[in-house]
Structure 1
Amino acid sequence: ILKRENIEGLKDYYNFCNGISSSPYTKETLEQWTKADAEARQITLGSIDGNIELDEIIESKIETSEPWVLIGGPPCQAYSLVGRARNKGNSEYKAEDDNRHFLYKEYLRIIQQYSPSIFVMENVKGILSSKVNDKRVFDDILIDLTDPDSALNRVGKGFKYRICSLVSEQVFRAGDDPKSIDPNKFIIRAENHSIPQARHRVILVGIREDMSGTLGTLLINDHVTVEEAISELPQLRSKLSKGKDSAERWKKIVKDQLCSLAKITTDKSLSNELTNTAYEIIENGTTGNLRFPKKGYSSECRSYNSNLIREWFSDNRLQVWLNHETRGHMDSDLGRYGYAAVFAKINNRSPKGHKEFDIQGLKPEHKNWESGKFSDRFRVQLKEYPSTTITSHISKDGHYFIHYDARQCRSLTVREAARLQTFPDNYFFQGNRTQQFHQVGNAVPPYLAYQIAKVLSDFFNNIK
């Protein structure tokens, strides 16, 4: 809003980011911040009050007679593999009684009532295999999206939609048999589109049948690695969650643990690398900050292989790195993180479960540790590849998001996770660190969203 209505007012935001002022707005920009605040709503879809509020917003903000795009998607908990695994452990759970399977109909209601020119619906990959009463839910979703009037048994404008893929030429139309198409062709693999993260999501684009033209597809680009994404950020040590937190104590703990593990392991190359790492631990000993000065701290900058992505991240108006602060780790986890990162450096993969963590001092105090269910309990984000999927679980612990640089011996910061999600550096996450991680993990990668928007924009421009 500031960029559209009050470009000069951006200085207020940057003064806040750089720590010059305590508020992101002044009286000169209060109007725009009030508008922005009003745009973010917490509405319970499906409730009477929630639907009334949502309808009022759409009717006041959108000229539905003009081309417009609806973006969103139903909650994913009922479809996600993790959520379904939890449900299997509940003997009383019945999929047909779980209303979350059918919340997509709240999205469908908006389509039926307001007839957007295009809609974009996003969800987890598990939606393709989720079943209710042994029937694939995705089949019903496809059929319903093509003909909202029939799906909801309502009289409307009679519009139908064709459902298109953003990564293939596959199209599903009203009357088609869902078994005639390949659901996997609706999966977008973010790492193929300059996102430094292996995030796989189902994204459907519905185009109203009266809109002629062919939807383009996302460009396939070279993979962007974790190292390319985050190596520019200053090196940090982890905090210590117990006892006195100091650089000297941290260095001693890490050095002692890595040297101890080097003596125990029977793998000679691993032993040598653990010893070398123990004596190469970063020297500055800083743990970062919510606003971390850009000047005066070291990093190992490797430029992006895409100029566009490089420009996407950078903002010369920032004098600080935002949200680049480490979390505290237990002494025992420091050894595990360091060992895992060294193992990954040598083997180009993370150590797998109890069989490769079968060293005195590494084994966690977990009764099911050797069950095989925790093979990826300690996962290093390999520097030469895109990261694994950044999820909100990163807020709980760092075990799945270990930094590849064993000399830093830690999990990722919010800013590092945000870069893997392609948030621009000027996006300042607020709240406590748990809330910040949730905001990062629950997001769609902004650069992927930008690319999708570009495809839709080109479609509109072509039909004009």
Structure 2
Amino acid sequence: MSDVVLIDIFAGAGGLTEGFLRSGYTFVSHIEMDRNAIQTLETRGLYHHLQRNGDPEDYTEYVNGEIGREELFGRYPDFDSELYMNIELTEENRDMVIETIRSKMNDMGAVSVDGIIGGPPCQAYSYAGRSRKNMENDRRNYLYLLYIKFLKEFQPEFFVFENVPGMKSAKRGLILSDFQRKVTELGYKLDFGVHDAFDFGVPQRRRRIIVIGHRMGDEMIQFDKERYGGTVHDLLSDLPALEPGEGTDGPQEYRCKPSPILEEMGIRGDRDVLRHHRARRHNPRDREIYRRTIDAWNSERRRLKYTELPLELRTHRNTRSFLDRYKVVAGDLPFSHTVVAHISKDGHYYIHPDREQARSLTVREAARIQSFPDNYIFEGPMTSKYRQIGNAVPPLMSEKIALKLYEIYMGGF
């Protein structure tokens, strides 16, 4: 592919970025405030750099634990780490960030920017976030204005804006309507929709707002539905069974060879090494609740309500709301329920479907449900890894968006 130049803002751990990197796009900047997430994105950027240059063995050594991250990056002084800006975008620093990007464009010989991708943090727009105190006046409600500032400044031919469905009703719908009005005034035609990641081949029901703005014709951008053809059991069956507290964040052996569906999805290849497969510790009470939750699904195909638990297993006084606070990832379905950042707090809402294990999902299992490949390494402590995964756009979904945009941008409608 020819170079199509992008700016990546509110990048997170790179779920949206990954699809565009796989599709051959070139980035002049990645901007993210979370230090662990930007390090994850930088590590993945080096992976793609080595793949393009035909020398991936050093990355394999890193995944295998044979060398550390510092040594890995030390071997490639030509890799441009300055593309990865660990900074919180604000009204006060936006002009400085824009000037830094323009300087980087000049260094790379990029005359213009073809596209901007990203989505502001969703906490202020999500239904759960809006139920918390002081969220009404949270500055994150207005980060979309910074996104618009970048559109005004760089005038790309297209953009991809992603967020949670709750944005439709945030501030009584005024935020989304204001965003749409302002970008339309900039000359963009909008394709707006609430899309389910399951329709893009991801083994998860995950509905998200996708706004694609472009100046490339009048036809609607349509995506062909392509659904995951296995079950959650198929997705996880090659991973070692773990008791709570077992496993390691480092390299370990798979249980068996990859299934054809894992290879078809690009989740696992013959040379991959298993990482991030360590189970949380759970107390006996929680494990008993997990077993009952799994049994209710397996025997009656229903979700156990908190009020059905015997009194000795209850720890919360609230018996009127959030009655599904314990939820199993159904192994016999072709999709999981939505993985969100709260998985970093506890695993009660993401119970592994195997009754014998009676535990919550590992980082790697959550990453697979999000369609991250096994060679995607997440940096930082365990809680941060969960949060990065829960906040991400599934790479399979982003790849299909990237390929469709490339087809339109390079070939016209």
Asked which structure has the greater RCO (Cα within 8 Å, sep 6+), the reply is 2
Give me the whole-angstrom Cα distance separating, in 1, the residues matched to 2:224 and 2:263: 15
Distance 1:114 1:7, change over 3 A: closer
Alignment length (residue pairs) = 363
Q: What letter corresponds to residue 236 of structure 1 in structure 2?
A: L
Return the alpha-carbon distance in structure 2 between the equivalents of residues 64 and 226 of structure 1. 43
Cα distance change on mapping 1:60 and 1:462 into 2, 3 Å: same
TM-score, L = length of structure 1: 0.72
Q: Runs of 5+ in structure 2 lacking a partner?
A: 1-45
- The answer to whether structure 1 residue 162 and structure 2 residue 189 are counterparts is yes
Match of 1:380 among 308, 328, 331: 328
Residues 339 and 298 of structure 1, relative CA distance in 2, 3 Å threshold = farther
Offset, 1:442: 1.2
Partner of 2:11: none
After TM superposition, list the pairs within 5 Å mapping 1:57-456 onto structure 2.
Answer: 57-61=101-105, 66=112, 68-87=114-133, 93=134, 95=136, 97-131=137-171, 136-148=174-186, 160-165=187-192, 186-208=193-215, 211-212=216-217, 214=219, 216-224=221-229, 225-239=231-245, 287-294=246-253, 297=255, 303-304=260-261, 308-309=264-265, 312-318=266-272, 320-354=273-307, 356-357=308-309, 359=310, 361=312, 363-368=313-318, 370=319, 372-385=320-333, 386-456=335-405
Partner SS for 1:404: coil
Conserved? CA contact 1:15–1:24, under 8 Å: no
Native 8 Å contact 2:115 2:158 kept in 1: yes
RMSD over aligned Cα, in angstroms? 2.5
Aligned to 2:407: 458
Change (3 A) 1:364 1:292: farther
Say if 1:2 and 1:32, in contact at 8 Å, map to a contact too.
Answer: no
SS at match of 1:460: helix
Question: 1:162 Cα shift?
Answer: 0.6
Contact preservation (8 Å) 1:120, 1:204:
yes
Provide closer, same or farther for how the CA distance between residues 213 and 459 of structure 1 changes in structure 2, counting only shifts above 3 A: farther
Q: Is the 8 A contact 2:91 2:146 kept in 1?
A: no
The residue type equivalent to 2:240 in the other structure is P
2:99 is the counterpart of 1:55: yes
Unaligned runs of 5+ in 1: 88-92, 149-159, 166-185, 240-286
Q: CA deviation at 1:101?
A: 2.4
Q: 1:164 to 1:23 in 2, by over 3 A?
A: closer
Distance across 1 between alignment mates of 2:362 and 2:350: 9
| CA shift in 2, pair 1:98/1:439, >3 Å | closer
Of 58-67 and 73-82, deviating more is 58-67
- Conserved 8 A contact 1:162-1:206: yes
Q: 1:360 to 1:101 in 2, by over 3 A?
A: closer
Counterpart position of 1:170: none
Larger radius of gyration: 1
* % identical equivalent positions: 31
What displacement does 1:31 show?
Answer: 1.4
